[in-house]
Amino acid sequence: MLSLAWAMTWLAAPSIASASPPDLFGFGSRSPAMGSTGVAYSDDYEATFVNPAGLARNHQRSLVFGLQGGAYRYELDDSRLAMSPVKANTIGGVIPLPFGGAMEDRLTLGLGFYTPLDVVLVGDIGYANLPRALVLERAQSLAIQFGLGINLDGVVDGLRVGASLTALGSFAGSIVAGIDATGKFGSVVETQVVSAFAPIVGATYDIGDFSFGAVWRGKVESEFVFRIVTRDLPLTVPLLNIGGIAQYDPHTFVLEAAWRPTPSLLVALGGSYALWSDYPGPLIATSRGSPEPPAVNFSNTLTPRFGAEYTFRRGRRALKLRLGYAYVPSPAPPARAEARYLDNDRHVLTGGVGFDLVLGDDGSRFFLDGYVSMSLLPSRTHDAPAPGQTANMVTSGFVGIGGWSVGVAW
């Protein structure tokens, strides 16, 4: 019985919930530096998440390695709420498919990997009435993107389409406890890591100095469930489900336009609409007869984004300065006593720098990119006090994220 009790205690211990960091902070080093825009202009491995159609603009092979890190300062009633820092590496690549004839320069593959340095996936089965930052805590999950871009020049000049598949870590398992043939109590724990998949479909259209992009990112719902089964016990114990939704990215639709008024300047403006109203919440019912967890009552959100990049060129060298802004409204209503799910609107300020060096006459190049992103969380008053308090909860804070990547293209 001690083994079963230990296992249940371990599973129910509070921990940081996980989700898709690309959805929360962006993917790569260029797009996050420009307000996580890129649907209209991205053309490297970042496009596997941002908009796979952009891969078809790229006719060079490339390989990129990067690191990302950051920390939260999220305050609840002037006390800092413990949240794990962000630590991960990224690997990306682009491979144009070497077909000839009518298929020459038509198809380009892209790969992107986001790997947390500490874990593959972390789940949280905390009580609904205990304060937790349900949206911001989504930064501890392995994410893999595979994409294909198709160039339709000659059919419809300027049009490119693409699709990719996002895979995120999930896990499932079981605990079978009971009396064995010797009359002793024992338990067997089995776990397995599985994948949750979601499609991404997009298109871009270039005309003159303008580029337009549209993308749909499918819902990702990554569960973790442990089923506890008892056998040959002197009392009847119902089947217990310990788990919930470890990560959730909503269906998201994005439209964006990019303008190049000069060869050195790129400006992008867009908006994304996320269907958060479909989110069922982080918890599941423990047994058939147990009450349903409280509804989260999330709302759909509309997020405007802006990004700009200016390039200074001298010979084979180029220096790129980037900046961006996004306003991300919270999908969560004010926290209440039965569901103390905390969240705030976010003003996201971003900046970055890139350096390119052309290595040969064939266009091969070395590049280095870095970015910083600061999310400012204005103060928000909720509809319930913290446990043991009388005044309604107030939350505020900021999130600082930064990263760099280095790569070669040939």
Separation CA 375–CA 330 (nearest Å):
13
DSSP-derived pairing of the beta strands 341-342 and 132-133: parallel
Which residues face 95 on adjacent strands? 109
The confidence score (pLDDT) of residue 281 equals 84
Tokens of 306: 């802006």
Tokens of 365: 């190049």
Separation CA 224–CA 242 (nearest Å):
8
Separation CA 26–CA 275 (nearest Å):
18
Separation CA 396–CA 23 (nearest Å):
21
Neighbours of 67 (CB within 10 A): 15
The confidence score (pLDDT) of residue 233 equals 65
The confidence score (pLDDT) of residue 104 equals 86
Query: Which residue is associated with the tokens 């992008």?
Result: 268
Report the amino acid identity of residue 376. L
Q: Helix/strand/coil (H, E, C) string of the chain? A: CHHHHHHHHHHHCCCCCCCCHHHHHCCCCHHHHCCCCCCCCCCCCCHHHHCHHHHHHCCCCEEEEEEEEEEEEEEECCEECCCCCEEEEEEEEEEECCCCHHHCCCEEEEEEEEEECCCCECCCCCCCCCCEECCCCCCCECEEEEEEEEECCCCCCCEEEEEEEEEEEEEEEEEEEEECCCCCEEEEEEEEEEEEEEEEEEEEEEECCEEEEEEEECCEEEEEEEEEEEECCCCCCCCEEEEEEEEEECCEEEEEEEEEEECCEEEEEEEEEECHHHCCCCECCCCCCCCCCCCCCCCCEEEEEEEEEEEEEECCEEEEEEEEEEEECCCCCCCECCECEECCCEEEEEEEEEEEEECCCCCCEEEEEEEEEEEEEEEEEEEEECCCCCCEEEEEEEEEEEEEEEEEEC
CA distances from 188 to 7, 12, 74, 194, 326 (A): 10, 18, 39, 20, 49
Tokens of 160: 């490119």
Query: Which residue is associated with the tokens 């891969």?
Result: 55
Separation CA 402–CA 283 (nearest Å):
31
Question: By C-alpha distance, which of 290, 233, 286, 340 is closest to 11?
Answer: 286
Separation CA 3–CA 313 (nearest Å):
65
The confidence score (pLDDT) of residue 57 equals 94
The confidence score (pLDDT) of residue 139 equals 59
Report the amino acid identity of residue 125. I
Rg from Cα positions in the chain: 24
Q: What is the pLDDT of residues 144-188, one digit of tens each?
A: 889 999 999 999 999 999 999 987 766 666 667 667 667 676 666
The confidence score (pLDDT) of residue 191 equals 67
> What pTM did the predictor assign?
0.84
2-98+107-409: CATH topology is: Porin (2.40.160)
Question: By C-alpha distance, which of 159, 161, 137, 140 is closest to 150?
Answer: 161
Separation CA 275–CA 251 (nearest Å):
5
Q: What is the pLDDT of residues 255-274, one digit of tens each?
A: 999 999 999 999 999 999 99
Q: Which residues of the chain have pLDDT under 50?
A: 1-19
